Amino acid sequence: MTTRISFGGDEHIFVELDEEMSLDACFRALALTRAVRESGIRGITEICPANASFQVRFDPDVIAPDDLKTELAALERASEHAEPLLNTRIIEVPVFYNDPWTHATLMRFRERHQAPDMTDLEYAAKINNHPSVESLIAAHAGSPWFVSMVGFVAGLPWLYQMVERAKQIEVPKYLRPRTDTPRLTVGHGGALGAIYSVRGAGGYQMFGITPMPIYDPKQSVSYLREFMILFSPGDIVKFRPIGRDEYDATVREVEAGRFTPRIRPVTFSLDAFHADPAASNAALVGVLNGH
C-alpha cells in the first residue's frame, strides 16, 4: 500500500506503512522512526513506533502541522532507498513450556476458550497441523522472533516469528479475555507472540512462562538497573525450552542478583533473510551460541 500520513488530533501525526503485518513492514517502521529521530526536526516531542505504523507527537507552536507532514513525507521517500540492514541484539529467553501456573490459569477460564476440552498448547498444535504439543513447542522455539514494538502494557514485547509466512504459528485469541494472566507468560494471538511483563488480564493463548524478568519499575533486578525495560523494537528473541529444575534455579539466580541474560550484538539483513530464511536464522542463532 502507499504510505498514509494523517492527523491524529491537534498534536499528533499518524504514519501507516502497511495494512498487513510483515517483517518488511516492521523493518520499514523501524527505519523511518530512526530517520525521524535523527532528523532533528524542531517541535517533535515523542515518537511511538508500532508494528507497521508509528505516531509522532509535536508542539504546534513550534512547527505547523502541514509543515511536519511534509517533512515526514520527505523522510519516508528517502527511507525507501536505505539499505535493509539492522544492527541490533539477539536475546535468549528461557521458557518453561506447559508449566503448572499458566496451566492452572487456563483451566480456570475454559468457558472463554474455543476448545474447552483442550489446553491452549493442544489447541494451537491442532489448528497449526502439528502432530503433538512437543512439535508445536519445537516450532515455537526453533526460530528467532523479531520485536516489532514494545508497549500496550509497559515493557511488553510484540514478537513476529522469523519464518516463511506458510510456517508461521497462527492462533486466535480467547473468545473472551481472561481476567488473569501470570506475569512473564509467553503467549500467542493471531500471528504475534508476546511476553506478559506484568500480571493482568489477557486474551492470548498461553504457551509457557519465563523465569527472566523483562520489566522492573523499581530497577532492583541486576540487569534492569540502568533501564527498567529489557526489550527495544528491532531486538531479536530466541526462546530456549527449559524444565522445572532450571526454571527454579534461574528464579533463585535472579533473586540473588546473579542472573545475566544471554545477549549478543548482531547485524540482521532483510535481503539475506528473504533469500534464505533458514540460513539467515542459523547465522543469528550461531552468534548467540558463540559460533
- Pick from 65, 82, 99: which residue ends a domain? 82
Q: Give the C-alpha distances (Å, rounded to integers) separating 56 from 26, 63, 150.
A: 17, 12, 16
Total domains in the chain come to: 2
Predicted pLDDT of residue 1: 61
- Rg of the chain over CA atoms, in angstroms? 20
- Pick from 55, 82, 109: which residue ends a domain? 82
Kindly state whether residues 10 and 71 are assigned to the same domain. Answer: yes
Kindly state whether residues 130 and 53 are assigned to the same domain. Answer: no
- Pick from 82, 107, 122: which residue ends a domain? 82
Query: Under a CB-based contact definition with an 8 Å cutoff, are residues 215 and 228 in contact?
Result: yes
Report how far residue 160's alpha carbon sits from residue 140's, in angstroms, rounded to the nearest whole number.
Answer: 11
What totals of helices (H) and strands (E) does the chain contain, helices first?
8, 12
Domain containing 216 equals 87-288
Kindly state whether residues 61 and 188 are assigned to the same domain. Answer: no
Kindly state whether residues 77 and 100 are assigned to the same domain. Answer: no
Query: Under a CB-based contact definition with an 8 Å cutoff, are residues 204 and 189 in contact?
Result: yes
Kindly state whether residues 159 and 115 are assigned to the same domain. Answer: yes
**Residue 51 belongs to a domain with what CATH number?**
3.30.1360.40
Question: Is the pTM above the cut of 0.85?
Answer: yes
Kindly state whether residues 138 and 237 are assigned to the same domain. Answer: yes
Residues, the chain, total? 291
Kindly state whether residues 269 and 142 are assigned to the same domain. Answer: yes
Kindly state whether residues 146 and 22 are assigned to the same domain. Answer: no
Give tens-digit pLDDT for 124-168: 999 999 999 999 999 999 999 999 999 989 999 999 999 998 999
Q: Point out the residues of the chain with pLDDT beneath 50.
A: none
Kindly state whether residues 224 and 279 are assigned to the same domain. Answer: yes
